[in-house]
Amino acid sequence: MDIAASIQKVIEEIMLRAARHVHAQTGLKNLCLAGRCAQLRRQRAHPTRGTFENVWVQPAAGDAGGALGVAQFIWHQLLDQPRRPRPTDSEQGALLGPSYDERRVCAALEQTGAVFDRFDSDQSLCDHVAGLVADGRVVGWFQGRMEFGPRALGSRSILADARRTDMQNVIIQLSREGSRPRDS
């Protein structure tokens, strides 16, 4: 853990120095980042904030980002399509995938013969899920639109009790089994 923390600290320092250099050379106030290192920074304040007014890390900052960049290059530069910046988040927080309404989800569950419960309120749902997690169960959670990129940002998540030392192995075993639905 000490080695990983030290490496992370060095990477942050390298990124900060690079950002300061870019800022000094260009004078620009906006910075767009991609790549694995940039992706790791998404969950907390990025070390380049303060150097730039606006820092944006594209949601597919890893390998998928290359394909996104090529598509943008072809569209704007090779096909000469205009850029139309919008002041609001045109990516909708990276929620670019499909969503499914309750009717469709229930129909799919019934079709597969899955055992499921419906809840009248968010509070009763959250209380039930919290109880399952506290009992050592693993819960697959999804809501709203699917995120674009390799990391779940809340709309598609695995919920489990991180206090259990065996939980990582439990989740790995479930993924190997194909995450078959289980009785609640």
**Of the ranges 1-10, 15-24, 37-46, 48-57, which one carries the lowest mean pLDDT score?**
37-46
Q: What CA dihedral angle connects 35, 36, 37 and 42, to 10 degrees?
A: 90
Number of domains in the chain: 2
Q: Average of pLDDT values for 132-155?
A: 82
Higher-pLDDT residue of 8 and 153 is 8
Cα–Cα distance, 42 to 49 (Å, whole number) = 12
Q: Note whether 10 and 60 are same-domain residues.
A: yes
Q: Note whether 107 and 153 are same-domain residues.
A: yes
What does the pLDDT look like over 45-79, one tens digit per residue?
566 667 888 887 777 766 677 777 788 889 999 99
Cα–Cα distance, 93 to 59 (Å, whole number) = 8
Average pLDDT of the chain, as a whole number: 82
Q: Tell me the residue range of the domain where 67 lies.
A: 2-78
In a domain, 97, yes or no: no
Boundary-marking domain end, from 46, 78, 110: 78
Cα–Cα distance, 39 to 149 (Å, whole number) = 10
**Model pTM greater than 0.95?**
no
**Of the ranges 84-93, 115-124, 156-165, which one carries the lowest mean pLDDT score?**
84-93
